[in-house]
């Protein structure tokens, strides 16, 4: 698939690799640590496309400006809670409430006829966001809680879960921030 092909990926493309579902929504705002963050969720259509490309819905739901604003608000709550956990601070109660409201939308899993895949009944963007919020509930309360990290690239500040055995992963992705760091080290070495 084109959007998962790193060599053909553009900055506008959504990020789904190397992280948990609940952090793919915060990743729709890039360069979080810079003075000019990069917004990938610019229109209601972008959110509809995200729901499909994330695999949460099989076709784009109806999205208006109000639903987009709600999704962005949830996105920022997830980012803030993730950062709080990663830096051992207490999260904000209003952010917790936001996640809980999103998670309370009911979605029902139904097994496909070949028993090989799941179809989620209760369409719409709320259902997609409910699954994102439920993934956050699982992650934040589960055994990988202590492995939530913020990318070591100060310009990025993307969240990820370090599932490596030694627990020393530093970058949100080796194909973006990790690769940049590697090239910067190489340049420095070449100049010294
Ligand atoms: Zn990064």
More confident residue, 7 or 125: 125
Q: What is the mean pLDDT of the chain?
A: 91
pLDDT at 39: 97
Nearest Cα residue to 51 out of 120, 136, 111, 140? 120
Question: Which residues have a Cβ under 8 Å from the Cβ of 7 and sit 6 or more positions away?
Answer: none
Q: How far apart are CA 120 and CA 131, in angstroms?
A: 10
| Separation of CA 177 and ligand 1 centre (Å) | 5
| Separation of CA 116 and ligand 1 centre (Å) | 34
| Separation of CA 1 and ligand 1 centre (Å) | 22
pLDDT at 122: 64
Q: Rounded to 5 degrees, what angle do the CA atoms 169, 171, 173 make?
A: 110
Tens-place pLDDT, residues 75-96: 999 999 999 999 999 999 999 9
- Strands 118-121 and 148-150: what pairing? unpaired
Calculate the dihedral angle through the C-alpha atoms of 49, 54, 60, 65, rounding to the nearest 10 degrees: -60
Q: How far apart are CA 81 and CA 92, in angstroms?
A: 7
Tens-place pLDDT, residues 23-80: 999 999 999 999 999 999 999 999 999 999 998 988 899 999 999 999 999 999 999 9
More confident residue, 50 or 182: 50
> Which range scores top for mean pLDDT: 4-13, 57-66, 103-112, 127-136?
127-136
| Separation of CA 157 and ligand 1 centre (Å) | 6
pLDDT of 190 > 90? The answer is no
CB contact at 8 A, 75 and 26 = yes
| Separation of CA 111 and ligand 1 centre (Å) | 36
Nearest Cα residue to 145 out of 132, 159, 157? 159
Q: How far apart are CA 44 and CA 65, in angstroms?
A: 6
| Separation of CA 103 and ligand 1 centre (Å) | 27
Q: How far apart are CA 172 and CA 167, in angstroms?
A: 13
Q: How far is CA 133 from the centre of its chain?
A: 11
Tens-place pLDDT, residues 139-151: 999 999 999 999 9
Q: Domain 2-191 belongs to what topology?
A: Jann2411-like fold (1.10.3300)
CB contact at 8 A, 128 and 57 = yes
CB contact at 8 A, 44 and 63 = yes
| Separation of CA 51 and ligand 1 centre (Å) | 22
Hunting for tokens 């993307």 — which residue is that?
158
| Separation of CA 135 and ligand 1 centre (Å) | 21
| Separation of CA 156 and ligand 1 centre (Å) | 5
| Separation of CA 170 and ligand 1 centre (Å) | 9
pLDDT at 8: 63
pLDDT of 189 > 80? The answer is no
Q: How confident is the model at residue 183 (pLDDT cuts 50, 70, 90)?
A: confident
Whole-Å CA distances, 150 to 32, 42, 80, 83: 11, 24, 11, 7
| Separation of CA 155 and ligand 1 centre (Å) | 8
pLDDT of 4 > 70? The answer is no
């Amino acid at each position: 698939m084109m959007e998962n092909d790193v060599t053909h990926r553009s900055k506008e493309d959504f990020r789904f690799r190397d992280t948990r579902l609940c952090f793919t929504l915060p990743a729709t705002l890039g360069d979080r640590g810079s003075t000019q963050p990069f917004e990938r969720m610019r229109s209601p259509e972008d959110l509809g496309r995200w729901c499909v490309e994330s695999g949460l819905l099989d076709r784009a739901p109806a999205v208006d400006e109000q639903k987009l604003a709600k999704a962005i608000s949830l996105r920022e709550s997830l980012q803030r809670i993730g950062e709080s956990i990663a830096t051992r601070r207490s999260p904000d109660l209003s952010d917790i409430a936001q996640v809980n409201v999103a998670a309370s939308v009911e979605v029902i899993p139904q097994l496909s006829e070949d028993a090989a895949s799941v179809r989620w009944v209760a369409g719409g963007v709320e259902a997609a966001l409910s699954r994102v919020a439920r993934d956050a509930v699982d992650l934040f309360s589960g055994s990988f809680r202590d492995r939530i990290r913020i990318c070591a690239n100060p310009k990025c500040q993307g969240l990820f879960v370090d599932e490596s055995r030694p627990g020393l992963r530093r970058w949100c992705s080796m194909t973006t921030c990790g690769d940049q760091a590697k090239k910067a080290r190489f340049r420095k070495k070449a100049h010294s």
